[in-house]
Amino acid sequence: MKHDNGSIEIVTGSMFSGKTEEVIRRLRRARIARQQVQVFKPVIDNRYGIEKITSHAGSEFEATPVARSSDIPPLLKPETTVVAIDEAQFFDYGVVALANSLADRGLRVIVAGLDTDFRGEPFGPMPQLMAVAEHVDKIHAICAVSGEEASRTQRLINGQPAYYDDPVVAVGAAELYEARARNHHAVPRRPAAMPSVQPVPPGQPEFLGGVLVTAEQIKARVAELGAMITRDYVGKDLVLLCILRGGVMFLTDLMREVTLPHTVEFMAISSYEPGVRKSTGQVRIHLDVKQDIAGKHILVVEDIVDTGHTLARVLDLLNTREPASLRICTLLDKAERRETQVPVDYVGFTIPNHFVVGYGLDVDEYHRNLPYIGIVKPGFNIG
């Protein structure tokens, strides 16, 4: 029995939403309707038996594991009328053209896969497949925290939410996934979106061309950074090392969000002189740390990393004193201006190439007191 019209139908949702269960249900019904069915899955999915797809609820259906989408056409039998593809998020993008061409030929194509990854971001070719499909069903799991409908997959490492950039699981660490509702889905260390420029409020300095990060945005992000640092330094002798003078406002807010016992230190350095808007790589130390940092966990707190020359010199110097660890937390990162590689571990906001002022940052030593990050109009000079 051939279909008159081919079509693509998608079954998607988080882990444990019952996608495979739903596909198996459709395939069994197709068999009852005397359709010829073939099922494919990517080889990397070897969670259970290999020659079948298995739902979390225990249903099974025979399936052919394939390495890539181009392996499927030679395996198709002439009498096949229904093709199912499971775990489609793991396929190459060729699966989109394949699904289209099968449907064009009159086949019924059923595709199951995760719509988003553990970060909550679109997963592989699923968005394209959903766009070209005739039917899309988003089904839901049950949130492990609240019992509500779950639309997200939470990745946990040793019981804690995995970081956005946690690549592989450390040896000995237990990794686990569970379904979560949007408001219970946590992805620490997600890079903050590039702020967009907002108008300068009335009564503010006229040399400002715009507000890049508002006081509210800073407050929210500093709280997030503090939570990450708190999580990462449990049981460690933490020293927050503020680079004066630009980092001071950031430090005093950040330390209140780090709810672990820690000490603070200060270093005063200068990287360039008033009137010059680019660091020379000539770093002068005016004030050094008070304590011996050997064996301590040092987190450098900076206002902004621009070319990277200043921090590179500071790190070289601090490393000779043999701290237990040395990491960097910067409020702002002008990433596109980097001239020397520095490992920045915590970033408040990645910003475009503007000269900025406020929240500790100066223009020619003034205006550090502005509660937001403003953009200085090009060509502006004090006095």
Cite the active site residues: 87
Minimum distance from residue 46 beta carbon to ligand IMP (Å): 47
Between 35 and 310, CB nearer to ligand IMP: 310
Sign, CA dihedral 216-221-224-225, equals: negative
User: Which residue's Cβ has the minimum distance to Mg ion?
Assistant: 246
Give the footprint of ligand IMP on residues 147-176 (CB under 6 A).
none
Nearest distance from C-beta of residue 206 to ligand IMP, angstroms: 18
Amino acid (one-letter) located at 93: Y
Q: Which two structure tokens, joined as six digits, stand for 119?
A: 């970060």
In the bound complex, what is the minimum distance in angstroms from residue 199's beta carbon to Mg ion? 26
Is residue 149 a contact partner of residue 143, using CB atoms and an 8 Å limit? yes
- Which residue type occupies 226? G
Stretch that binds Mg ion, among 14-22, 182-190, 245-253, 350-358 (CB under 5 A): 245-253
Binding-site member from 13, 124, 226, 246 for Mg ion (CB under 5 A): 246
Alpha carbons 27 and 24: distance in angstroms, whole number: 5
Distance (Å, whole) CA 218 – CA 211: 12
* Phi, then psi, of 317 in degrees rounded to 5: -65, -50
Among 21, 166, 232, 306, indicate the residue that binds ligand IMP (CB under 6 A).
Answer: 306
Q: Rounded to whole angstroms, what are the CA distances from 53 to 18, 38, 121, 233? A: 12, 11, 25, 42
State the nearest-atom distance from the C-beta of 303 to Mg ion, in Å: 5
Binding segment toward ligand IMP, per CB under 6 A, in 60-68, 125-133, 200-208, 356-364: 356-364
User: Torsion-angle region of residue 147: left (phi > 0), alpha (psi -120 to 50) or beta?
Assistant: left
* x/- map, 259-278, ligand IMP, by CB under 6 A: ------------x-------
Does position 253 interact with ligand IMP (CB under 6 A)? The reply is no
List residues binding Mg ion (CB under 5 A). Answer: 246
